[in-house]
Amino acid sequence: MEISNSIRQARYGMPAADQILVNRHYVIGYSYYFRQAKWALEIIDPDNPGLERLDNFRPDFRIPTMFRADLVDYEGSGFDRGHLIASANQRETELQNSETFLLSNMSPQAPQFNRGIWKDLEAEVRRLDAKKRILETYVICGPVFYFDQPVQLIGDEDDNEVTIPIPNAYFKSVLAENDRGTLNMWSFLLPNEETNEPIESCRVTTTKIEKYTGIELWNQLHGKKIDSEKKRIRRMW
């Protein structure tokens, strides 16, 4: 699907997907096969930290019924409705925060993962974005499935005939533009389970994420410097 250059988040690239869901402040690439987002793309914008999260979880009715997750799919599953675009990343206005609670922005995450290292990584990215030298921070993240492992499902005991596979892991790739016009890249691969490992240990090359997901990240950027950046594991900020 061709993406309009007018989408601000797509400045440095946006992968393909079965359905592109353009929200006011972030974009979802939705997978009909997985019945959840293939990727989620945003520019970090936590301008009003005093705004309370709305917690108004709800289906995204732009998605055809046969591929659309519903609240009942998560009920009693033992898995969290895990945000891909964090609520705390988008809270300049109530409307902006509300959009992050669409189920198209959710993926089944182990509770200890969602409330642990995933939440910690989200906070670390906001800390990067808050640095004086950083002008803008782009983030793309999504689920990772290992097809040589058995697939677990949620939603297989309700009546809406939609099941959602549980990802084995999640990726997050961060692209920060600084006041010298330099683009720096960090990528992370995190297993969907409780862990006491530090975030630093989850750093990987961006090319590894591309290999595992089949997604070309930051595909509007080209050249030897970008190729080198994708193969590099940078120190944490």
Higher pLDDT: 110 or 160? It is 110
Rounded-to-integer distance, Cα 29 and Cα 37, Å: 6
**138, burial (CB in 10 Å: exposed 0-12, middle 13-18, buried 19+):** buried
Domain boundaries, the chain: 8-230
**129, burial (CB in 10 Å: exposed 0-12, middle 13-18, buried 19+):** buried
**Phi and psi (nearest 5°) for 100?**
-75, -10
CATH class held by domain 8-230? alpha beta
Q: Tens of pLDDT along 28-73?
A: 999 999 999 999 999 998 777 778 899 999 999 999 999 999 999 9
Q: Tens of pLDDT along 1-16?
A: 444 445 999 999 999 9
Rounded-to-integer distance, Cα 232 and Cα 237, Å: 14
Note the pTM of the prediction, 2 decimals: 0.95
> Of 26-40, 88-102, 114-128, 186-200, which gets the smallest average pLDDT?
88-102
* Structure tokens that stand for 114 in this block: 């969602």
> In the predicted model, what is the mean pLDDT of residues 197-226?
97
